[in-house]
Amino acid sequence: MSLILARLGLQQRVLPEYRLPFFAALAEASPKGFSLFAGPARLEESIAAVGSLPKNVHFTQADNHHFFGGPFYLCWQAGLIRWLEDWQPEVIILEANPRYLSNPAAQRWMHQRSRPVIGWGLGAPPVQGSFARMRSARRQHFLFDFDALITYSQRGAQEYRQVGFPADKIFVAANAVAARPTWDMPVRPSQISGNKPVVLFVGRLQERKRIDLLIQACAGLPGHLQPDLWIVGDGPARAALQGLALQVYPSAHFFGGRFGSELDAIFREADLFVLPGTGGLAVQQAMSFGLPVMVAEADGTQADLVRPQNGWCLPAGDLDALTSALQQALEDIPLLRQMGQASYRIVAQEINLENMLQSFDQAVRSVWEGK
């Protein structure tokens, strides 16, 4: 891995804990310095506050002002320009989201000093609803003020190309939360005899995770295919989910929070990982233990991670689709094992923190070399 030879700044609306390993790696690769600017989330987002940051990450907390909600959500981060004045970055990376009203001011501040700005975003899907033409034009103007764009997936890259952004200035950094595995892929039998297969969910127990759908889908399977459902995690929906499981699917087991070697052991014993709602921090981790994965389609960040070779991407909130996919998976255990091998290969060779960092390095070099 080559070094990032520019004093680097990176803005985030909020600082989710799962990003800490990546930001630490980014700081390690930036000998001229790395600074992070981010603010607190809204209470209803249930994003855990970060305890501490690595010493090599210079951090400035934003004063986030949240306006409206849902499709009309907007955010203003007070203190953004003051952070730029204090840190004096040579290159900055901003979230490429026009809902963050203070980011255009940061673009202007940098460009007035002939310093490049990189956007980091999901993509640019067609704008629909009220004032679609005006919103689309505003987004395009915002995007074209970046010197390069980093996106999570090939789909995001295609969307940026479709709005006219130069293809040679678009970089794909597939969404990764962990380094490539340092362990061999677990060996699982080609058939399950005696015990039931284990379907696993790992994550925070919240309504938006739609674990209720997973419980109902397992209950809707033919009796001989019904698995042991392992639900690992804690959160505000736990009591309601336990009540639902008692009524419709007693084979659901709630483990509470598990971490480190305890969680690793659970991944090794499972046969299939399912994420029926939004979020997906544990998907890559499950794949690193050779598990096929089943996820709901969400924001596109998993489009390159979950493929027909290693899993299923399902319509969000569709109980019938989830039940059908579970039945298909559990009827063919040898195929599940092949898909698990594909999962392990993808995270070992393609989608991991090391490759994500390399994409960021390439993006910075594209705007900084020759300065």
What kind of architecture, by CATH, is found in domain 198-349?
A: 3-Layer(aba) Sandwich (3.40)
- What pLDDT shows up at residue 85? 98
- What pLDDT shows up at residue 49? 66
Highest mean pLDDT among 44-48, 213-217, 262-266: 213-217
Residue 184's pLDDT band (boundaries 50, 70, 90)?
Answer: very high
Q: Taking the domains of the chain in order of start, what are their residue ranges?
A: 8-178+352-368, 198-349
Instruction: Print the SS3 string covering the chain.
Output: CCCCCCCEEEEEEECCHHHHHHHHHHHHCCCCCEEEEEECCCHHHCCCCCCCCCCCCEEEECEEEEECCHHHCEEEEECHHHHHHHHCCCEEEEECCCCECCHHHHHHHHHHCCCCEEEEECCCCCCCCCCHHHHHHHHHHHHCCCCEEEECCHHHHHHHHHCCCCHHHEEECCCCCCCCCCCCCCCCCCCCCCCCCEEEEECCCCHHHCHHHHHHHHHCCCHHHCCEEEEECCCCCHHHHHHHHHHHCCCEEEEECCCHHHHHHHHHHCCEEEECCCCCHHHHHHHHCCCCEEEECCCCCCCCCCCCCCEEEECCCCHHHHHHHHHHHHCCHHHHHHHHHHHHHHHHHCCCHHHHHHHHHHHHHHHHCCC
The model's pLDDT over 296-354, given as tens digits with 9 standing for 90+, comes to 986 566 778 899 999 999 998 999 999 999 999 999 999 999 999 999 999 999 999 99
In this structure, of 101-110, 178-187, 224-233, the range with the lowest mean pLDDT score is 178-187
More confident residue, 162 or 192: 162
| CB environment 79-88: b (16+ within 10 A), e (fewer) | bbeebbeebe
- What pLDDT shows up at residue 59? 95
- What pLDDT shows up at residue 1? 58
- What pLDDT shows up at residue 118? 98
- What pLDDT shows up at residue 56? 87
Among residues of the chain, what percentage have pLDDT more than 90? 71
In this structure, of 2-6, 63-67, 172-176, the range with the lowest mean pLDDT score is 2-6
The model's pLDDT over 59-71, given as tens digits with 9 standing for 90+, comes to 999 999 999 887 7
Average pLDDT over residues 233-246: 94
Domain pair 8-178+352-368 / 198-349, same fold: yes
Average pLDDT over residues 244-265: 93
What class, spelled out in words, does domain 8-178+352-368 have in CATH?
A: alpha beta
Residue 195's pLDDT band (boundaries 50, 70, 90)?
Answer: confident
pLDDT of 206 > 70? The answer is yes
- What pLDDT shows up at residue 69? 81
Terminal-to-terminal C-alpha distance of the chain:
21
- What pLDDT shows up at residue 177? 84
More confident residue, 289 or 282: 289
